[in-house]
Amino acid sequence: MPASLSRNVKTRLLPLFSDTKLNNTTPQRFTNSETLYNPTFKDTITTLRSYLNLDKILNFQTPTIPVETICSHSVSVETRDCVYRLGHSSVLMKVDRVTILTDPVLGNRASPLEWAGPKRYHDLPISVNELPFVDVCLISHDHYDHLDKQTIKQLHNNVGVFLVPKCVASHLLEWGVPDNKIFEFDWWQSMKISGVRFAFAPTQHFSGRSFKQRDSSLWGSWAILGQKSNIYFSGDSGYFSGFKEIGDRYGPFDLTLMETGAYDENWADIHMFPEQSVQAHLDVRGRVMLPIHNTTFDLSYHVWNEPLIRAEQEARRLGVDFLCPKIGQKVLISELNVNGQERWWDENEKAHEV
């Protein structure tokens, strides 16, 4: 059922999909361009253990993470291009007065279960109900820490359109989003909305909300190309040569929202180490790098701020401008200033201040 729903969406919404495998009745399996990520059931259990291990649950300690409250009205009236991190990979932004939201996961956990799974470390800077009208909601892939059923259900009446990877529409339809609001994309396809071009680009990752659904929908990243600002939103990815191609096609970018966190040797093909995140930023031809996919949910074995400390160190080594605003803090694209930023993620520094 979901596959056929998804096919209807593709044919109906975007004529440019008419030449794809829509008439193929066998379910699609998507693959990466450079590597075959095909973990066994045992590998999946290892990953699940990192999400749900008892030690973590018993010793759960919430770090103190500063959050700046976002006023809905001030976002609505903002005319300058800007971004606000809401947490993990959820980013609210304005580009050419178009309000954009990426991968909204605004519940308490990034999990299929309400009572278990990674719990958020910090409050939301703005609640789902207070969000201003979102013209465009971008989804990178269907993993729980990027596509949250409860958030979509609460949010969709306040959203103009959802731009999603191929075969992700079926989830949204199931959760009550009307089909005329959903547009599915293959890699390198793009669409212009109110003057802003949204281009879907490859990443090296995988998909599925269960072992059975593995790779039955596509994954990727988004280039947001405005009149004055270009922003790259990485979604989830291992390091691969596709970043260079993205830079060639859509770069340079004023700002990259780059996956920096939830890495481990066990899944090195499909998530980047912080040093690779900085290299990916350079490959896509980014000017300032803003690390996402950290701080909110504990999805790996490393401590919450290790990705930020390592990425900052590598950025300094390579002369990359690294900007890590507080959750909820407004960042104006015209005034990207990496000097004098408060290093709120470095607990040693905080200890020295006291």
| Binding site residues, Zn ion, CB under 5 A | 143, 145, 236
Straight-line distance from the first to the last Cα atom of the chain, in angstroms, rounded to the nearest whole number: 58
Q: Among residues 236 and 269, whose Cβ is nearest to Zn ion?
A: 236
Q: Name the one residue in this structure whose structure tokens are 């269960």.
A: 210
Q: Are strands 253-259 and 82-87 parallel, antiparallel or unpaired?
A: unpaired
- State in angstroms the smallest separation of the CB of 235 from Zn ion: 8
Hey, is 347 helix, strand or coil? helix
List the structure tokens of 246.
Answer: 């993205």
**Closest CB to Zn ion among 93 and 262?**
262
The backbone region for 299, taken as left when phi is positive above 0, alpha when psi lies in -120 to 50, beta otherwise, is: alpha
Minimum distance, C-beta of residue 330 to Zn ion, in the bound complex (Å) = 24
**Beta-strand relationship, 196-201 and 221-225:** antiparallel
For 128-273, where are the alpha helices, taking DSSP H only? 149-155, 169-174, 242-250
**Distance in Å, CB of 295 to Zn ion, minimum:** 13
Between 95 and 101, CB nearer to Zn ion: 101
C-beta of 229 vs 277, nearer to Zn ion: 277
- Answer for the pair 94, 340: CB distance below 8 angstroms, yes or no: no
Task: Output 7 or 143, the one with its CB closest to Zn ion.
Answer: 143
Tell me the closest approach of the beta carbon of residue 11 to Zn ion, in angstroms. 27
Q: Shortest Cβ distance from residue 307 to Zn ion (Å)?
A: 12
Kindly tell me which of 143 and 166 has the beta carbon lying closer to Zn ion: 143
Q: Which of 230, 237 has the CB closer to Zn ion?
A: 237
User: Shortest gap between Cβ of 270 and Zn ion (angstroms)?
Assistant: 7
Smallest gap, in angstroms, from Cβ of residue 177 to Zn ion? 21
Instruction: Return the number of other C-beta atoms located less than 10 Å from residue 34's C-beta.
Output: 12
For Zn ion, the closer CB: 7 or 141: 141
CB of 35 to Zn ion, least distance (A): 15
Could you tell me how far CA 339 lies from the centroid of its own chain?
Answer: 26
Q: Where are the beta strands (DSSP E) in the chain?
A: 82-87, 90-95, 98-102, 134-138, 159-165, 182-185, 190-193, 196-201, 221-225, 230-233, 253-259, 286-292, 321-322, 330-332
Q: In which order are the strands placed within the sheet that holds 90-95? A: 182-185, 159-165, 134-138, 98-102, 90-95, 82-87, 330-332
Neighbours of 214 (CB within 10 A): 17
Query: Which is nearest to 31 in space by CA: 216, 167, 169?
Result: 216
Q: Given the complex with Zn ion, which of 97 and 149 has the nearer CB atom?
A: 149
Least gap, CB of 353 to Zn ion (angstroms): 32
Coil, strand or helix at 212? coil
